[in-house]
A and B are shown apart, each in its own frame.
Chain A
Amino acid sequence: MRITIDDISIECEEGELLIDVMLNNNINIPHFCYHQDLGADGNCRMCMVEIKGAKRPQIACDTFVKENLEVITKSENINEVKRSILELELLNHPVDCPICDQAGECKLQDYYMDYGLYESHLTTPKTKKGKAIELGSNVMLDQERCVLCTRCTRFTSEITKTGELGIIGRGDSARVGVAPGHELNNPYAMNVVELCPVGALTSKDFRFKQRVWFLDTSKSICHGCSRGCNISIDYNETKYTREKIHRFRARRNARINQSFLCDYGRLSYKELNNSFKGTSSSIEDLKELLKEDKKLALASPSLSLEQLQAIQTLCQTHNIKLFCLAYYDESFGDGWLKTNDKSANLASVKKLGICTCQEEFDAALQEAELILNFDHTLLKHQEFGNKKSVQFTSTHLPPACGYCFGFANFAHDTGTLINCEGITQKFYATRFRDKNPSLSELLEQLR
């Protein structure tokens, strides 16, 4: 089926929403309340379009496509409609962009520049509401900046079904809030920050840390559990600060995480700023060590497929027994995104045929004289008595008596993960190199 949008012919399916067709084809359509993973609500009226044959403009988020539909998104008339809607939306808006963390990625700012550009007609003082309210779970609320799109309330009522957020009051005094004495408290709460199209909900964790236009983004995969949620890593290096990762944002993938992340995964970026800062041992010593008998290696199940392959090759050439133990946590999974298996890449481990048996590992550990640990948390801080040990680590470790090699963590490396549903996905490195080499480069030197 074909429809025409602004004289461009577009292929689409029967029964699709017009706004979805536009968003999927990267056609600019202003909208506040519609969200591809929350559905339509039709309250903001920002998505107005003209349809040939229809008497008056219609909202694209409540129009289903029909054969030969002709849609106009830009015209004198429709721009005037949008300007009026925007003016109403912004009537009581505080316009405190200088102190608003959303500035730079704010839909109100974008649409004002695209369609607004009017002088305010307001002659009475603006309605005052609550500012900098801590809602709990790292979420800050500014009621004055809200455009009442109900994305956040729909998220808590329809997606998490916890229902903490609601709209209180009517007319000018309508505002988002939690019931008195309650707080926003669910393991997915921080998604509302990203869902909010304006700066009404912002993250306490990211608050005032950076201006968003200074940030660079790389495509990555969350390593928090085996779901493999798609993320964007926002990072930067300024003239006065070293490279730092500032936040994870959800990257839409309709098959896996839609547009959501759990708070645990979202905040796991902090670990990435804790890379290995010491000096690595000498590779010549390691070559010497590998001549020992009875060697054992334990690899983290969150390493990438490429890293695991490199380790496997090393172990085969030097006759090392290789194991990989899953990070299992019965209390973590919840039947939605979080899974009990907190290893990011156990499916790859199984694919490569690496032994994951705990008993065999325990027995081998007893016997082994040299232990190589590839970033597995089980052995990271362990003392091995008179056994020799080598740590390969992506996080910082206190200086220990054994041998230690730092390697670049997943933000600084490119690789492949297979998630719990068998979906293979790639993640990419940031623009800045870590001071430590990647694990594959490190192992290359042992050849």
Chain B
Amino acid sequence: MGIKVVERHGNTFKEKIYLHAVFSGMKTTLKHFTANLRDASNLPTLCYPEQKPTDITPRYRGVHRLTHRKEDDSIACVACFMCATACPANCIEIVAADREDGRDEKMPQVFNIDLLECVFCGYCVEACPCDAIRMDSGIYSVIGECREDFIYNKAKLLSIQGISKEEFSLAK
């Protein structure tokens, strides 16, 4: 293995008294301060929650939703456990069952996501071979009164609408 020797910083007199770094930081702060004082319309911060964000795109990783099939609006998920396998937080609980509507053989009987444990990494979406789970709901805030309120079950996840153009699962 090659070793790269990096120079150690912070040993000169100028660096040791810190003043130079402090003032150069203050310079940046003052620059933004005066700019924002002159024109407040371009402020990059929001008075959340009174003001809501307007730039949530379908690519934003919001709360999950389970998609439906285009043909008959039935659940697209086939309970393959790929999402649960990929999930680093281990927060997806699936119980598989035989599917009785004749569309396929397998579906989830239980599909719970514990949003308190979820780290919103999006691995589950990446792993899904059926485009059955997506995070394109645009929902960035989840509110509940007890822990159980944050466990979203199959019915709840199926009822969430997406904000992208593709409402249905794109899997073939």
Q: Does A55 contact B (CB under 8 A)?
A: no
Q: Which of A159-167, A206-214, A311-319 contacts B (4 or more CB under 8 A)?
A: A206-214
**CB distance A239 to B98 under 8 Å?**
no
Q: Does B82 contact A (CB under 8 A)?
A: yes
- Chain B residues, CB < 8 A from A213: 85
Q: Does B154 contact A (CB under 8 A)?
A: no
Please report whether the interface of chain A is mostly helix, strand, loop or mixed according to DSSP: loop
**CB distance B80 to A99 under 8 Å?**
yes
Given contacts A98-B78, A99-B80, contact A208 B104 (CB under 8 A): no
- Count of chain A to chain B residue pairs whose CB atoms are closer than 8 Å in the complex: 33
Chain A interface residue number, banded: 10 to 19
Q: Could you say which of B79, B80, B90, B93 has the most chain A C-beta atoms within 10 Å of its C-beta?
A: B80
Give the number of chain B interface residues (Cβ < 8 Å): 16
- Chain A residues, CB < 8 A from B90: 239
**CB distance A98 to B129 under 8 Å?**
yes
- A199 and B63 CA atoms in complex are apart in Å by 35
- Chain A residues, CB < 8 A from B104: 99
**CB distance A99 to B98 under 8 Å?**
no
Measured CB to CB, the nearest residue on chain A to B130 is A98
Given contacts A98-B78, A208-B79, contact A240 B93 (CB under 8 A): yes
Q: For B98, give its contact among A98, A131, A208 (CB under 8 Å).
A: A208
Q: Does B120 contact A (CB under 8 A)?
A: no
Q: Does A117 contact B (CB under 8 A)?
A: no
0 or 1 for each of B67-87: is its CB under 8 Å from A? (1 = yes): 000000000001111100100
- Chain A residues, CB < 8 A from B85: 211, 213-214
Chain A interface residues (CB < 8 Å from chain B): 97-99, 103, 131-132, 207-209, 211, 213-214, 239-240
Other contacts beyond A208-B106, A211-B81: 4, CB < 8 A: A98-B80, A207-B98, A213-B85, A239-B93
Q: List, sorted by A's number, 20 A–B pairs whose CB atoms are closer than 8 Å.
A: A97-B129, A98-B82, A98-B106, A98-B129, A98-B130, A99-B78, A99-B80, A99-B105, A99-B106, A103-B80, A131-B105, A132-B105, A208-B79, A208-B97, A209-B96, A211-B85, A213-B85, A214-B81, A214-B85, A239-B93
